[in-house]
Amino acid sequence: MTQAEFVIVANRLPVDRDEDGGWRTSPGGLVTAMEQVMRSVDGAWVGWPGQPDIDVEPFEFDGTRLVPVTLTAEDIEQYYEGFSNDTIWPLYHDVIAAPRYRREWWNAYRRVNRLFATAAADVAAQGATVWVQDYQLQLVPQMLRELRPDLTIGYFHHIPFPAYGLFAQLPWRRQVLEGLLGADVIGFQRVADAGNFARAVRRQLRYETRAGSIRVPTAEGEARTAVVRAFPISIDTAQYEDLARDPDVRARAAEIRASLGNPQRILLGVDRLDYTKGIRHRMKAFGELLQDGRLSVEDVTLVQVASPSRERVETYIQLRDEIELTVGRINGDMDTMGHTAIRYLHQAFPREEMVALFLAADVMLVTALRDGMNLVAKEYVASRVDNRGVLILSEFTGAADELGSAVRVNPHDIEGVKDAIMRGLEMTPAEQSRRMRALRRRVHDHDVQAWSRDFLAALERTRDES
């Protein structure tokens, strides 16, 4: 395989195996975000093909060279399920669940990051640009710089970066910081996350930090500048708008309302089944509104989509049990023969079905306890081409920094969530329209293409200045 001028390095390849043993494009925000970028450049994508212990040769798919990284079942257990998702994920999400620190997981994380770095170094052309994605690969930038100092390296962190008091718990904190500082541009979702990273570097490594940059010592005794700033990610807005105008999708939205008994109002939550998403909090608030008599099951239904996530990790197994017990208890107490309080769907849906749900929903509930961005909030806004609907948005999401016309809530404040739900259900069409128009302007002006252009332009500037 020839070498590429532009390389994406991510935990997963942008494809999944289909039923016939071939490949199909996988769902997900990162794949969508990179789709147009990869079509416009001489690009390659390095990632795990999604199944353990399969050795796949590099191949071309939809105009992009794909470079599979083979991982064993033990690698997946220790590097991915262990260190990435049972150490880093809870630690970086404000320790909502307790992180576990195991040396064998860290050793696997280093080993697998080395595999990704080596694969990227092998496929990158002389002077190429390499863009590393997310928390599973925090050591890759430094490893790649050691292997290929000629490369321009970017790294984007899709999840939050914690305050120093939390990050300092990590036994391998210095190694992680040094790994990230191998990049020329280090991007975060929020200004606060970039600030947290810079403070951790000052406290741990004593490097000089200035507004938006860090001076990183080199092996030659000199220093180079790493750019550190926020690049809030977004969605392909036009794609959601087109689907929302599709007559079949609009007809499906009407079918959804009818299948729920045509309630006066529909509340909607759409999340991965994850303890960071605040699903239990919103269910508690909704259940109390029914118990208090402020809402009736005949008038209002909550639809909760909770797509499967990390189903072999014990914390997630327990979370599913807790949520399903809560749903059963509320429905058992409140349902009538003709109406259900909560329609709970533990499954993933295609994009067309999601847009139909967005159009059917009067109030969108995004009550994450901590979230890097939360693209569902932006997807809902982009889908509301009718300028109707209400977005209730946790202040602890990255989206809250951008979507100022949403109804903001502290998801830990159950009374506040209840009041926000009532406010959303009672909001006049005129206020809905005013708020939604402002939200839609923001999402339209700052779509995923603008995000990638912004980041790659920053990378290009570092190349020109070096």
Residue 463's contacts (CB-CB under 8 Å, 6 or more residues apart) are 129, 152, 184
Expressed in angstroms, the distance from the first to the final Cα of the chain is 29
Largest CA distance in the chain: 75
CB 63 within 8 A of CB 15: no
Per-residue pLDDT band at 310 (split at 50, 70, 90): confident
CB 44 within 8 A of CB 91: no
Q: What is the mean pLDDT of the chain?
A: 94
Euclidean distance between CA atoms 23 and 318, whole angstroms: 33
Euclidean distance between CA atoms 280 and 421, whole angstroms: 15
Label residue 267 exposed, middle or buried (CB < 10 Å: 0-12, 13-18, 19+). buried
pTM: 0.95
CA nearest to 136, candidates 292, 256, 283, 11: 11
Whole-number percent of the chain with pLDDT over 90: 86
Residue range 34-39: mean pLDDT, rounded? 76
The pLDDT, as a whole number, for residue 416 is: 98
Residues carrying an active site annotation? 158, 371
Tokens of 228: 């550190």
Q: What is the tens place of the pLDDT at every residue in 98-155?
A: 999 999 999 999 999 999 999 999 999 999 999 999 999 999 999 999 999 999 999 9
Tokens of 138: 């925090």
Examine the pLDDT at 1 and tell me if it is beyond 70.
no
The pLDDT, as a whole number, for residue 29 is: 67
Per-residue pLDDT band at 267 (split at 50, 70, 90): very high
Examine the pLDDT at 40 and tell me if it is beyond 80.
no
Residue range 305-310: mean pLDDT, rounded? 88
- Higher-confidence position of 313 and 399: 399
Q: What is the tens place of the pLDDT at every residue in 169-188?
A: 999 999 999 999 999 999 99
Examine the pLDDT at 419 and tell me if it is beyond 70.
yes
The pLDDT, as a whole number, for residue 79 is: 98
DSSP code for 275: G
Examine the pLDDT at 459 and tell me if it is beyond 70.
yes
Residue range 460-466: mean pLDDT, rounded? 84
Residue 461's contacts (CB-CB under 8 Å, 6 or more residues apart) are none
Q: What is the tens place of the pLDDT at every residue in 370-408?
A: 999 999 999 999 999 999 999 999 999 999 999 999 999
Q: What letters, b where the CB count within 10 A reaches 16 and e where it falls short, cover 211-222?
A: eebbebeeeeee
Q: What is the tens place of the pLDDT at every residue in 329-365?
A: 999 999 998 899 999 999 989 999 999 999 999 999 9
Tokens of 167: 């990050």
Per-residue pLDDT band at 17 (split at 50, 70, 90): confident
The pLDDT, as a whole number, for residue 42 is: 78
- Higher-confidence position of 131 and 465: 131
Examine the pLDDT at 28 and tell me if it is beyond 80.
no
State residue 139 phi and psi, 5-degree precision: -90, -15
Residue range 272-288: mean pLDDT, rounded? 96
The pLDDT, as a whole number, for residue 312 is: 78
The pLDDT, as a whole number, for residue 214 is: 96
CB 181 within 8 A of CB 202: no
CA nearest to 226, candidates 175, 180, 157, 192: 180
